[in-house]
């Protein structure tokens, strides 16, 4: 009789633990993609905002950085950036557009891929930033590419509106 009660008690505890773990997994599957999108978007958006003096007017400081300060570090050698004005404009534009898309959860995987590519280039320009910045950014981008935008996103809403009704 006592063994049956102990077995029943252990089963009750394991059911509670399983229920809590299932709830945690469901909550995390909703929150994690959104938090990843925000965490990856913010540093790029902040950086992008510093590059502009108005609508489509790149700041002189941004041009100066790309022309004079930023250098590619490849295999122990340092090289000037090719077409620094074009790269400054493209970088400034991408640092605004891609984070906004991420925050909205629109074209999430492509936006994360774009920021992953930018992170790789930034690593070549600022090689000492890999541990504190580039590795976490790359990890978040790869995670978003793997898990997608999550349920709290425009991608999810559009899929529900455009793709799911066709299945019926």
Tell me the pLDDT tens digit for each residue of 128-160. Answer: 999 999 999 999 999 999 999 999 999 999 999
pLDDT tens for each residue of 1-47 = 556 566 666 668 889 999 999 999 999 999 999 999 999 999 999 99
Residue 108 pLDDT > 90: yes
Query: CA torsion sign, 26 to 29 to 32 to 38?
Result: negative
Say what the pTM is: 0.87
Quote the mean pLDDT of the chain: 93
Q: What is the pLDDT of residue 12?
A: 82
- Cα 37 to its chain centre, rounded Å, is 5
**Looking at residue 7, what is its pLDDT?**
60
pLDDT at 42: 98
CA angle 53, 57, 63 (to 5 degrees): 85
Give me the mean pLDDT over the 105-128 stretch: 97
How far is CA 146 from each of CA 19, 120, 150, 162, 165, rounded to the nearest angstrom?
26, 18, 11, 22, 25
Q: Between 56 and 4, whose confidence is greater?
A: 56
Say what the pLDDT of residue 79 is: 96
What is the per-residue pLDDT for 168?
Answer: 52
């Amino acid at each position: 009789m006592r063994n049956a009660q102990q077995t029943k008690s252990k089963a009750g505890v394991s059911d509670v633990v399983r229920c809590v773990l299932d709830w945690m997994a469901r909550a995390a599957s909703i929150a994690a993609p959104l938090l990843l999108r925000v965490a990856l978007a913010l540093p790029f958006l902040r950086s992008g905002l510093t590059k502009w003096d108005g609508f489509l007017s790149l700041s002189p400081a941004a041009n100066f950085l790309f022309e004079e300060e930023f250098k590619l570090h490849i295999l122990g050698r340092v090289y000037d950036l090719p077409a620094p004005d074009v790269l400054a404009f493209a970088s400034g534009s991408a640092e605004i557009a891609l984070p906004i898309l991420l925050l909205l959860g629109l074209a999430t995987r492509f936006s994360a891929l774009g920021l992953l590519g930018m992170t790789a280039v930034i690593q070549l320009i600022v090689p000492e930033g890999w541990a504190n910045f580039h590795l976490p950014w790359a990890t978040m981008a790869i995670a978003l590419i793997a898990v997608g935008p999550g349920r709290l996103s425009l991608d999810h809403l559009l899929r529900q509106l455009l793709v799911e009704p066709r299945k019926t």
